[in-house]
Amino acid sequence: MAYFAFDRTTPAQDSEFIGVVVGVDNRRVTVEVPTECLAHVSVGQLAVIPVDGLDHWLVGLVDRLVCGAAGAFALAGENGADAPSVVPEGRMHPGNVASVSLIGTVKDRTTADGRTTHFFSRSLSVSPDMHAPGFAMRGPALTTFMNLLVEASATVNSLVLGQYTLDPTATAYLDGDKFFQRHAALLGSTGSGKSWTVATILERAAQLPSASVVVFDLHGEYSKLSYARQLRVPGPDELQTADPNLLFLPHWLMTAEELAATFVDGSEATAHDQILVLQREIEQAKRAFLQQHNKTEVLKAFTVDSPVPFPLDTVATHLDVLNTKMVQDYRGAKQGEFYGMFGRLLVRMRTRRSDRRYGFMFQPPDQLQTYEAFAMLARQLLDFKASRSRVRVIDFSEVPADVLPIMLGIVARLIYYLQFWMPKELRHPVALLCEEAHLYLPSQCTNANEERALACFQKIAKEGRKYGVSLVVVSQRPSDVDTTILSQCNNVLAMRLANTQDQTVIRRMMPDCLGALLEMLPILDTGEVLAVGDAVLLPSRVRVRTPSEKPISATIDFWTEWNRTDRSPDWQLAAENMRCQRRLSANS
Ligand SMILES: Nc1ncnc2c1ncn2[C@@H]1O[C@H](COP(=O)(O)OP(=O)(O)OP(=O)(O)O)[C@@H](O)[C@H]1O
Ligand SMILES: [Mg+2]
């Protein structure tokens, strides 16, 4: 390795010298650049500053370059309280300055066979000396450094993401352990390449023999991935179909509170009493079910919220009896305590249960009313051992928008609690990939159902790590996504983002010293990410590899389509599909 930055025997070359350090401020260094060296330095480039007396080289990213006195003072002003430190003492008219954000250190290491090698670490244990020289890292130096990065990150845990934009020959890896351990976010405007990036990550994960990823697919984008198991919430015309890939989510998976929110109108004066009686009836129906199946163990411990099947018919019948019950006293017959209280509740219950759009919940097949159904559902959601089951895509495109958050919340909660109750030695980590997260993890909930669903995901964000449940939040509107969840994401893959509100959210998620990197967000190319977090060695711009199987998210070429003469859409079919709540194609 014959390069000045990492080998003191080779002198620095003039064309790489960018100036001397004139200010040091926590993770930021100001370098005064002589006018003749201005051509050596550019924004976005890596710079290296040797530390005297130690075999250490500080590596940083040039994030600003300002020419002349006025510019330098402007830069000083922006640095706030520490401003004076960037202006060299005793010099009222500093020249050109470059601001460098330090990102890590290259150090010497002696290997077992006595050779000296170098390695890169994100720690910054030393600060540069005043007047130390700074050099631009380019050409062979950049290659050497990138090789160090690749060597350090290409471990058994590595997940190939793509190539560094700085050096397209160097492969950028994510540490697969760290990426999933403490949640991740993939954020970028529509069409910036999020779904393709998801497909690239899924493809890599599917190659691991025991990977376990559940994808919440809201638009059926991943329905054609050949390596994934395709589960789908059944639409109205599939209710009687016996297909192991249909994911029914029967009513008894809901908590009593969720069921009450579905059937009781909170604005009625008697809402509170209705909820109490409904919960009592549910508890009794579950108890009867357990007694019928001789589940004495469960009977001792179950609660009204336990996932125990119960017939909704029985509850409805009992409520109907209470609703019409007359009692006798010494004056004769009079209306019972609950007379007329459940009229609207019963109508609502009947309507929901006969609405075929909600069939996946209220009209499940008989086998989902059995005691074994819960374990069957658990296997459907979490079994990664069957062929093509390491990635399980759940297509929610048939679920009506008003129950979508609650359904996603139920699935997330089931997965979390199944992991929670799994003995530690048998627990296997699972990642939940939440596409279009702004739709069900909103920053502002508009109703109780959304709040309850959000709470399920917040619990995973806060506590999932301990039980091997990870979230990967994907969204085109980060400012519409719940901040509690985003703040728990330790890794951010940011793609092109033009909206300033959304950029602010990302800025808040990243360390201050990387602020300048974020300036790139609006100018990133399609398929380029800014990868930041503990899963990447160097916060950097990466061109993501294209997945070999692409999601169905192709951008429609309007102009080209409008230029065709062979198109004949079938509006009759679209109208019928809308009526039947299905998406039959012309050939089926
Ligand atoms: N890594 C990539 N390399 C080249 N082209 C890409 C890459 N990623 C995405 N594209 C192009 O961009 C288009 C849109 O990508 P994608 O569907 O992933 O966007 P998105 O961010 O998921 O959008 P939305 O938020 O609307 O779902 C793709 O159809 C593809 O043509
Ligand atoms: Mg997408």
Instruction: Name the β-bridge partners of 65.
Output: 98
Q: What is the pLDDT along the chain (588 residues), one digit of tens a residue?
A: 334 455 544 455 667 888 899 999 888 899 998 888 888 888 888 899 988 777 788 999 888 888 875 555 555 555 444 444 444 444 444 578 898 988 888 887 777 787 777 888 888 888 888 888 898 887 777 878 888 887 777 776 788 899 988 888 888 888 899 999 989 999 999 999 999 999 999 999 999 999 999 999 998 899 999 999 999 888 887 887 778 899 999 999 999 988 988 888 888 888 899 999 999 999 999 999 999 999 988 998 899 999 999 999 899 999 898 888 888 888 777 887 888 888 898 999 999 888 888 888 998 888 888 999 999 999 999 999 988 899 999 998 878 787 788 889 999 999 999 999 999 999 999 999 999 999 999 999 888 778 888 999 999 999 999 999 999 999 999 999 999 999 999 999 999 998 999 999 998 888 766 766 788 899 999 999 999 988 888 888 999 999 999 998 766 788 988 999 998 889 998 898 878 767 777 776
Q: Which of 160, 195, 546 to mutate to test the pocket of ligand 1 (most atoms within 8 A of CB)?
A: 195
Q: Ligand 1 test: best mutation among 526, 546, 555, 556, most atoms within 8 Å of CB? A: 526
pLDDT value at residue 9? 46
Give the side-chain half-sphere CA count within 13 A for 206. Answer: 23
The Å distance, Cα 460 to ligand 2 centre, comes to 23
Dmax (CA) for the chain in angstroms is: 111
Encoded tokens for 187: 């954020």
The DSSP line for 72-105 is HHHHHHHTGGGGGGGSPTT-SS--EEEEEEEEEE
CA-to-CA distance for 527 and 544, rounded, in angstroms?
Answer: 6
pLDDT at 90: 46
pLDDT at 13: 63
**Ramachandran angles phi, psi of 181, nearest 5°:** -55, -50
Q: 105 pairs with which residues across the strands? A: 58, 121
First-residue to last-residue Cα distance in the chain: 64
Find the 428 Cα to ligand 2 centroid distance in Å.
Answer: 28
Tell me the H-state helices in 355-499.
359-362, 373-382, 404-421, 448-463, 483-487
Output the six-digit token pair for 354. Answer: 């006969």
Is 581 within 8 Å of 236 (Cβ atoms)?
Answer: yes
Rounded-to-integer distance, Cα 471 and Cα 461, Å = 7
Ligand nearest to the CA of 217: 2
Cβ–Cβ contacts within 10 Å for residue 268, how many? 13
Fold of the domain built from segment(s) 174-250+365-553: Rossmann fold (3.40.50)
Burial of 291 (0-12, 13-18, 19+ CB in 10 A): exposed
Are 443 and 482 spatial neighbours (Cβ–Cβ below 8 Å)? yes
Ligand 1 atom closest to the Cα of residue 162 is 1
Ligand 1, pocket-test mutation among 165, 192, 196, 550, most atoms within 8 A of CB: 196
Q: Are 238 and 357 in contact (CB under 8 A)?
A: no
Distance 388 CA to ligand 1 centre (A): 25
Nearest ligand, CA 438: 1
- Please tell me the residue having the least CA distance from ligand 1 atom 16: 193
| Closest-approaching ligand to the CA atom of 189 | 1
Upper half-sphere CA count for residue 333 (Cβ side, 13 Å): 4
Distance 496 CA to ligand 2 centre (A): 13
Which residue, by CA, sits nearest to atom 1 of ligand 1?
527
3-class secondary structure for 154-211?
CCCCEEEEEEECCCCCCEEEEEHHHHHHCCEEEECCCCCCHHHHHHHHHHHHHCCCCC
pLDDT value at residue 41: 86
Q: Could you tell me how many residues make up the chain?
A: 588
Q: Which atom of ligand 1 sits closest to the CA of residue 476?
A: 25
pLDDT value for 588: 66
pLDDT value at position 7? Answer: 53
Q: Ligand 1 atom 10: the closest Cα is on which residue?
A: 193
Q: Give residue 372's pLDDT.
A: 93
> Which residue lies with its CA nearest to atom 15 of ligand 1?
193
Pair 535, 201: CB distance under 8 Å: no
Cβ proximity of 199 and 550 under 8 Å? yes
Alpha-helical regions (H) of 182-306 = 194-206, 256-263, 271-292, 296-301
Tokens of 229: 């198991």
Region for residue 257 given its phi and psi (left: phi exceeds 0; alpha: psi -120 to 50; beta: otherwise): alpha
Ligand 1: list residues with CB < 6 Å. Answer: 188, 190-196, 476, 526-527, 544, 546, 553-555
Separation between Cα atoms, residue 110 and residue 543, nearest integer Å: 34
Q: What is the DSSP string of 372-405?
A: THHHHHHHHHH---STT-SEEEEE-TTS-TTTHH
Name the pTM for this structure: 0.84
